[in-house]
Each structure stands twice: as structure tokens, then as C-alpha cells.
Amino acid sequence: MIEIGAIDDETMLLQSIANWFGSTPDIRLTVTAASVDEYLTRSEVPDIVLLDLDLGNFTDPAHNVAQLTAKGLRVIIISVVKDRKWVVSATEAGAVAYVSKERDLNELAEAIRVVHAGEIPTLPAHAFLLSEDDRRGPDLSPRERQVLLGVAEGLTHDAIARRLGIEKSTVKTHLERIRQKYRDKGRPIRNPGDYPERVREDQIRGDLPN
């Protein structure tokens, strides 16, 4: 059984995570705290800890990570914060992974298993934020951006085709190109939920014709 700890100022979130891991066969959340200081006062803590970047107490994320790694703990960042500087500084301080709270908990569980095995998880979102290339996403054409926005909004291929005045098959072709460009960037689109996430990450703006 893999035991983990978690540090987050959102009590309801911690309870949700604990409940979810309670249904997994190999992971249990056994220690929680609202701050790093509180966590480190516990007599015994798991050596894998989930840490929110923004604890709401004005502490520096990198300093929080450094405090934990100094005790020999392995830190996985969980956060809705996608600030590149914060993630980079936390990683440089010793965090082994970053998982967005907006992602499926299965992704977090897999990252925990990889870390427990003594390895470093390969997570596209983390790699993107650490990339030296600060451009937000691949070079999409104006039409590809429109198609991506449409899919991210939950529109069907037929609806996108009607609003853009193109064939349904053309929409599919654009989507294939979009997916290929994101694969080339090391940020593959694996499921429908990844489309709106890429739009948010890359700050893609625009409207489709009605």
C-alpha cells in the first residue's frame, strides 16, 4: 500500500481526494495539513506528499517545497495555478511532478505510483510549463484555431462545419492537424477534455460565426 500526505488549505478538496483514493486498491491518503509547518509537526508522515502551490498564507511555493525536500520527502505539486515561474521555481526546489487539479485523479494516481517506484513522471502539462520555449502552444492557422475553439466549446463536427461554412470532412482534417501539432509539441490531446484545457493553457481567444 502506498501512503501519501497532502498539504492544502481547502479542506473539502482534501476530503474529496481522501475519499477517491479510498476506492483505489493501492493508494491511501493518511496525513493532511493546511500548511507545510503543520505537516512537519506531525510525528510520522509519508515520504510522498501532495502540495498545493498557493496555500493562501502568502508563503513562497519554492520555499515550501525546499522545506519538505530537506526532510527527504518527495513532492508532487497539485494546483489550478499554471504560472510558469511558480512551477519552474518549485521544480528547481525539488518537486518531482506537477498535476493540475483540473485533471482526472487517475493521472494523479499514476504519477504517485511512478514516484513511489523511484522514477520521475512524464507529464505533458509539466513539461510544457518547464519548456524554455515560452510560446503558448503550436503555430495554428486561423481556421485551426476556430475549429479548436468550437470543439472546446463542445460543438459537434456538424455544428462547426455549418458555422464555418465548410465540409464536415474538412473539420476532421483540421482536427487531425491540430492533434499532430500538439503531439509535435509534446502535449498530445488524448481525450475530449484536453481541447478546452489547451485553449485555456494557450490563451486562445476568438468567436465562431453564428
Lowest mean pLDDT among 22-31, 48-57, 76-85, 129-138: 129-138
Contact criterion met (CB below 8 Å) for 180 and 140: no
C-alpha cell at 164: 464555418
Q: Which of 115-119, 147-151, 185-189 has the lowest mean pLDDT?
A: 185-189
**pLDDT tens readout for residues 45-92:** 999 999 998 888 788 888 999 999 999 999 999 887 666 677 888 888
- Domain residue spans in the chain? 2-130, 142-201
Give the mean pLDDT of the chain.
Answer: 87
Does domain 142-201 match CATH 3.40.50.970? no
Over residues 177-183, mean pLDDT = 91
- Residue 70, CA distances (Å) to 23, 65, 88 in order: 32, 8, 18
pLDDT in tens, 93-112: 889 888 888 777 888 999 99
- Within 10 Å of residue 79's Cβ, how many Cβ atoms? 22
pLDDT at position 154: 94
In percent, how much of the chain has pLDDT > 90? 52
Task: Give the model's pLDDT for residue 197.
Answer: 87
pTM above 0.85, yes or no: no
**Regarding the domain with residue range 2-130, which homologous superfamily does it belong to in the CATH classification?**
Response regulator (3.40.50.2300)
